[in-house]
Amino acid sequence: MSQAELDSGRRKLDWARSHMPVHAELRRRYSEQRPFDGVTIAVGSHIEAKTGVFIETLAAAGADVVFTNSVSATTQDDVVAALLQLQHVQGYARHGCSDNELHELHLQTLRHGPQLILDDAAELTALMLDQCPDLRPRVLGVCEQTSTGVQRLQAMARDGVLSFPALAVNDTPMKHDFDNVHGTGESALTNLLAVTNLLLAGKRVVVAGFGYCGQGVAYKAQGWGARVTITEIDPRKALRAHMAGFEVAPMTDAVRNGDIYITTTGNRDVLRREHFEYMRDGAVIANAGHFHVEIAVHELQAMARGMREVRPGISEYELSDGRRINVVAHANLVNLAAPTSMGHPIEVMDQTFAMQFVAALYLLQHRARLGAGVHALPTEVDAEVAALKLASLGISIDRLSATQQDYIHAWRIGDIQSP
């Protein structure tokens, strides 16, 4: 670790910290109370500056924090270096490590015996349950911030292996309405355009999936002048996309006219050989889902007669008929893994990581009542973070009067109709 790298990481943390007012309030509120005293918290996430401020806040509230990267390509080594200088913080994360090396980093993190796991895609949780069952009795609970992770936790619960409470932080309005819609939507497109240097207006953009992340990408692409087509497997989401004015089609049809393809499904092989065969020359493919498996790059490689890096972060595959298909960031998260990517906007992650913080605090205080299984975070906990955010923006809202409070709980005809 060089001094230059350390200074770079500290500058990144300073900049992020100065734009995360909710975290500033959490540190002010809990640095004296120290509710996490004596608690070891494992954080699995994309290790960059916003995550670093979150880790600082946990440590300020008394936690012993051990962190690791969820995806190798998204790790910023200078931020890791700066975090390792903090008291009560240890970490195992490195940019560019292999899958086997990442697996070992995750095991090293778990060997600290965390009592709380604040997870991303349930990676630490799954590894602990699968390969470190001796640590299971020590775990008080898990907080999960991604759609993929909540799905995996629900699968664990169905299989009967989830022996502690898990909070589905991703499913709260303060997470999916802002992080998934605005965070993923804005950062996926801005980082895609930065790495390609292409114009979005007038392009035919195909968005795979119309969940919260897909909605964010689709609406923002439409707002910037793109013609957007949605592919879906859920008839309700497909109908929602249609009623919002988007074209809806199966991927086998959509691939024949698209210029840019963005996957947001959380599933694998969303774009595969049968789709590559019909893509137009020059098509650009990017992934905004957690895992790189949404795009079957290995099938594209098998079809190609050659591959070259046409720009940093863009791999061009030339097919036998001369068509070229461009894959951004090796199909890793486009908003974090491309060379110029910086992830979600800072203000969005201020809210998302605040949700993880208050969820961890709620779980610690209510774990006995919760019991094993996947649980929703109470509305009042979600609203608390919204109130903190509004206060940081200087925004005030109305309150119900006592009469209005009574009215919304009334059911008798006389009570409802009385003046």
Cα 192 to its chain centre, rounded Å, is 17
Length of the chain as a residue count? 419
Same fold, 3-175+344-393 and 181-337: yes
Question: What are the domain boundaries of the chain?
Answer: 3-175+344-393, 181-337
Helix (H) or strand (E) holding 263: strand 260-263
Fold classification of 3-175+344-393 is Rossmann fold (3.40.50)
Each of the 419 residues of the chain gets a pLDDT tens digit; together they read: 689 999 999 999 999 999 999 999 999 999 999 999 999 999 999 999 999 999 999 999 999 999 999 888 889 999 999 999 999 999 999 999 999 999 999 999 999 999 999 999 999 999 999 999 999 999 999 999 998 899 999 999 999 999 999 999 999 999 888 989 999 999 999 999 999 999 999 999 999 999 999 999 999 999 999 999 999 999 999 999 999 999 999 999 999 999 999 999 989 999 999 999 999 999 999 999 878 899 999 999 999 999 999 999 999 999 999 999 999 999 998 988 888 888 899 999 999 999 999 999 999 999 989 999 999 999 999 999 999 999 999 999 999 999 899 898 888 877 777 66
Contact 109, 92 (CB under 8 A): yes
Phi, psi of 146 (to 5 degrees): -125, 155
Which residue from 326, 244, 318, 246 is spatially nearest to 285, judged by alpha carbons? 326
Cα(126)–Cα(105) distance, rounded to whole angstroms? 14
Fold classification of 181-337 is Rossmann fold (3.40.50)
Percent helix, strand and coil across the chain, each rounded to 5?
Answer: 50, 20, 30
Structure tokens at 118: 């604040």
Q: How many CB atoms lie within 10 A of CB 8?
A: 17
Cα(273)–Cα(212) distance, rounded to whole angstroms? 27
Give the global pTM. 0.88
DSSP string, 24-88: HHHHHHHTTT-TTTT-EEEEEE--SHHHHHHHHHHHHTT-EEEEEESSGGG--HHHHHHHTTSTT
Structure tokens at 226: 């793109």
Contact 329, 10 (CB under 8 A): no
